[in-house]
Structure 1
Amino acid sequence: MAETVAEVMAELAALEDPKARAVNERHGDDHGVNLTKLRAIAKRLKTRQDLALELWATGDSAARLLALLICRPKAFGRDELDAMLREARTPKVHDWLVNYVVKKSSHAEDLRSVWMADPDPVVASAGWALTTDRVAKKPEDLDLPALLDVIEGEMKEAPDRLQWAMNHCLAQIGIDHADHRARALDIGERLEVLKDYPTPPNCTSPYAPAWIAEMVARRTGS
């Protein structure tokens, strides 16, 4: 039997965990649902574009995360995705929208260039995330020296989420493109962005020079 949005919302409410919410709120998110349990609901529901739209419209973050798991990414129009991105203010919803939906859309490249130039740093961070994906998977026609110019000039003073996205792009250029690696390392060392970021044992530091060095070493086996 098809489940209604009210039934799904009630199920999500029953999964609310105050401890999970407290942890998530420290990262800027506003939901308390365990993501493994959320994914289990999505697996049961399968693809449901109609239900996904209704869940997104609730504005509830847990409902929106579930919507992004059960939607049909290629069913969204360009303007729909743009509007959704501008509504997605919490980090997890923003991240899943970009990675699970926009990247699979035929509108990704158009939105990438529009979002990178947006004055809203949260919107711009989505453009940088899409650019990082292209650096890794489809760098043809990307002007990597120009990207490094922008990172060099703007990353140090960028707001947190935009800074994080630009730093990821810097690291990806250094990891994937040996001819630009020395400059990427130099920019990272001079700007020192995220140099002191607390990194758990056995995790890769987000500090670009350390990140680049570790990933290159893994690839070369050195």
Structure 2
Amino acid sequence: MALSTKAKKLVAEITKGDLKLGDLKKRGAEIKKDHDLAMELWSTGEYYPRLLASLIFDKKLLAEEVIDQLAADMLEHDLKERSQLADWFMANQLAKDKRLAALMTTWEENPSPILRRLFWYHQARLRWVGQTPPGNSAELMVSLEKNLATAEPEVQWTMNFCAGQIGIHEPKFRARCIKLGKALGLYKDEHVSKNCTPSYLPEFIRIEVAKRE
């Protein structure tokens, strides 16, 4: 896609090398919504322009086939970048629209690991935002016990996070989530920075439950 003068200037501005994510968010807040510009930025294939695009898409124009293509494009990036792109896209677009949020609930078995990541992240989010957890936790637990061990890295992390949120917010599943974490040992040896919560399920659940007591 040939870039407009506006898009070229913006790409030059945000790819200087010293930009912080907070600066991108400020830029996105200034632009607000500009779907055509977002598509231009996305077409560059570059990380920062795509992050900014994820802030300024028009939700009404995000048809399912467009989302499928964006998810496929994210796989061009390394694990860290594509995970960040997916999470910003969910937080700033999908989770803020009832139609798109409903669409996320259909992605558990989607061929795209990006969309499966977002399915699980959305399910986790439904539990940590303070509302009554949805009534599908028993079904999710069956899927977690069956598939968590072998999921792709970007999907596995959000599945594990969702299991943690179920264990934290739904006491009847807590022991089962802890047992799953112990059995798999995922993230048990992960280095955790000071004041950060570990991803290892038994510790994650223990610490977060204690905060709420």
TM-score, structure 2 normalization: 0.84
Give ranges in structure 2 of 5+ residues lacking alignment.
76-81
- Structure 1 stretch 132-141 or stretch 77-86: which is displaced more? 132-141
Number of the residue aligned with 1:112 = 105
Number of the residue aligned with 2:124 = 132
Q: Number of residue pairs matched?
A: 201
Number of the residue aligned with 1:79 = 65
Give ranges in structure 1 of 5+ residues lacking alignment.
18-32
CA distance, structure 1, for counterparts of residue 31 and residue 112 of structure 2: 35
Alignment check: 8 A CA contact 1:85 1:97 kept: no
Secondary structure of the residue aligned to 1:200 is coil
Alignment check: 8 A CA contact 1:52 1:68 kept: yes
Aligned pair partner of 2:20 in 8, 30, 34: 34
Query: Aligned residues: percent identity?
Result: 29
Aligned pair partner of 2:83 in 70, 87, 91: 91
Per-residue deviation at 1:138? 5.8
Per-residue deviation at 1:204? 0.5
Alignment check: 8 A CA contact 1:78 1:111 kept: no
Number of the residue aligned with 1:52 = 38
Considering only aligned residues, what root-mean-square deviation do their CA atoms show, in Å? 2.1
Secondary structure of the residue aligned to 1:4 is helix
Alignment check: 8 A CA contact 2:33 2:56 kept: yes
CA distance, structure 2, for counterparts of residue 79 and residue 45 of structure 1: 25
Alignment check: 8 A CA contact 1:82 1:111 kept: no
Structure 1 stretches of 4+ with a deviation exceeding 4 A read none
User: Structure 1 residue 199 and structure 2 residue 201: aligned?
Assistant: no
Number of the residue aligned with 2:209 = 216
Aligned pair partner of 1:5 in 7, 14, 17: 7
Q: What one-letter code is carried by the residue in structure 1 that aligns with 2:172?
A: D
Encode CA deviations 1:164-207: one digit per residue, 9 max, x unaligned.
Answer: 11100100100111121121111112221111111011111011
Alignment check: 8 A CA contact 2:72 2:112 kept: no
